[in-house]
């Protein structure tokens, strides 16, 4: 005799998040400020400034809170050190740390996916890539749907 099936209540997945909290944002940034003055009085590296401009213009800025600004400044400082350091071994270590730090800010496609952020697609991109034609059920000879392409 086969075993009896489990009760449906016991078969449901129980791996729900144990702490699911909706936090109210106190103060969204909306706009990312410019890089602060460097402590040594020097100029920021041109690639660090380009990185900061890209972050400023990104749609992710709308999700950042004022408390996130400190982490973004740390990330900019790491990017600055990466471009200023001379040795390859130091660059490898800095690159690893930059990867770790930027994950929380959604700066790469995989990071946005993990954070469940989706950037809206541009309308003209949708128009330039029309959807593939749907397959039709053809009665009789399937070659009737074929046509010459110039």
What DSSP string describes the chain? -PPPPPPHHHHS-----S----PPPS-B-SSPPPPPPPTTS-PPPHHHHHHHHHHHHSGGGGG-BGGGHHHHHHHHHHHHHHHH---HHHHHHHHHHHHHHHGGGT-SHHHHHHTT--PPPPHHHHHHSPPPPPP---SS-GGGG-----
Inside any domain, residue 133:
no
Inside any domain, residue 27:
no
Domain that holds residue 98: 42-119
pLDDT in tens, 39-59: 888 999 999 999 999 999 998
Q: How many domains does the chain contain in total?
A: 1
Inside any domain, residue 110:
yes
Inside any domain, residue 144:
no
Note the pTM of the prediction, 2 decimals. 0.65
pLDDT in tens, 6-39: 777 776 666 666 566 666 767 777 788 999 998 8
Inside any domain, residue 62:
yes
């Amino acid at each position: 005799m086969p075993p009896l099936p489990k009760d449906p209540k016991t078969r449901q997945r129980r791996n729900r998040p144990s702490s699911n909290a909706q936090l109210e944002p106190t103060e969204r940034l909306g706009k990312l400020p410019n890089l602060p003055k460097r402590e040594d009085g020097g100029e920021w590296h041109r690639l660090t400034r380009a990185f900061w401009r890209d972050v400023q213009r990104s749609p992710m800025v709308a999700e950042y809170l004022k408390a996130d600004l400190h982490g973004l400044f740390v990330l900019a400082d790491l990017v600055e050190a990466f471009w200023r350091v001379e040795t390859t071994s130091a660059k490898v270590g800095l690159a690893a740390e930059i990867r770790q730090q930027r994950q929380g800010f959604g700066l790469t496609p995989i990071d946005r996916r993990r954070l469940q952020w989706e950037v809206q697609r541009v309308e003209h991109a949708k128009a330039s890539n029309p959807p593939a034609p749907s397959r039709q059920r053809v009665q009789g000879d399937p070659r009737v749907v074929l046509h010459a392409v110039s």
